[in-house]
Amino acid sequence: MSIRHPQINLSRRSLFKFGAGAIGTGVLTAGLGSNLLAPEKASAEDNNITPDKALQELLDGNERFANKKRRNPHQTYSRLVEVAKGQKPFASILSCADSRVPSEIVFDQGLGDLFVCRVAGNIATREEIGSLEFGSLVLGSKVIIVVGHERCGAVDATIKGAQVPGQIGSLLEAIRPSVESTKEQSGDKVENACKANILSQIKKLKSSSVLSKLIDEEKLIIVGGYYDLDTGRISRVD
């Protein structure tokens, strides 16, 4: 992300004038968005689309990818120069870090189009939530899609109760509630848990005061997607 650093003169007295209640989306947008972090126009479209249209753009891109009809938009050198001045991604992605699910490719998008957070198991940690709040509130992303995928190794390891070293266990702990919630379901255990995990992470994102306000104002939607490794197709999970 591109962050500008203009001079900011805020005294202790002026900060107190805001009061605790002023630290909300309005102040963040007016203060951070327009003064500290506001990007210059980064795209010809200037992000003037509705959340529903933003989602449809993602789904259309995936349809092109799955049907081997990629357009590879916004991947030229001129686009690189354009977005170097600032970014206005129209969509944000919370996806698994799996190397087989690169967002810009599977959604057929390019430079400056997507604000992407990737973590094993596509879990909404505090840091991921904060990043997505930034992407929506400050950068203007209109849709967040949580993308899980077929045969997810993190979910499979959680189901099997794998003993893992280092910090890997923290990922499995975050996924465990979704595994527990699907124990009695019939069908593929990993797929069931993957989809439950997608819904669980959506719920966490919607508990964010920043994101929920944007949803209430009809400036944002949050949905789920399940990626088929064999076909490249993403199906909705809601």
**CATH number for the domain formed by residue range(s) 39-237:** 3.40.1050.10
Task: 152-161: list long-range contacts, CB under 8 Å, 24+ apart.
Answer: 152/96, 152/98, 152/121, 152/190, 152/194, 153/98, 153/120, 154/96, 154/120, 154/121, 155/121, 155/179, 155/190, 155/193, 155/194, 155/197, 156/190, 158/121, 158/193, 159/189, 159/190, 159/193
In this predicted structure, what is the pLDDT of residue 48? 83
When pLDDT is cut at 50, 70 and 90, the band that residue 23 belongs to is very low
**Around Cβ 31, how many Cβ atoms within 10 Å?**
16
For the whole model, what pTM was predicted? 0.82
Q: For residues 153-181, give the mean pLDDT.
A: 97
In this predicted structure, what is the pLDDT of residue 115? 98
Mean pLDDT, the chain, as a whole number?
A: 86
**Structure confidence by residue, pLDDT tens digits, 55-96:** 999 999 999 999 999 999 999 999 999 999 999 999 999 999
Give CA–CA dist 177/200, Å, rounded. 9
Q: Where are the domains of the chain?
A: 39-237
In this predicted structure, what is the pLDDT of residue 54? 98
In this predicted structure, what is the pLDDT of residue 46? 55
Q: For residues 192-210, give the mean pLDDT.
A: 98
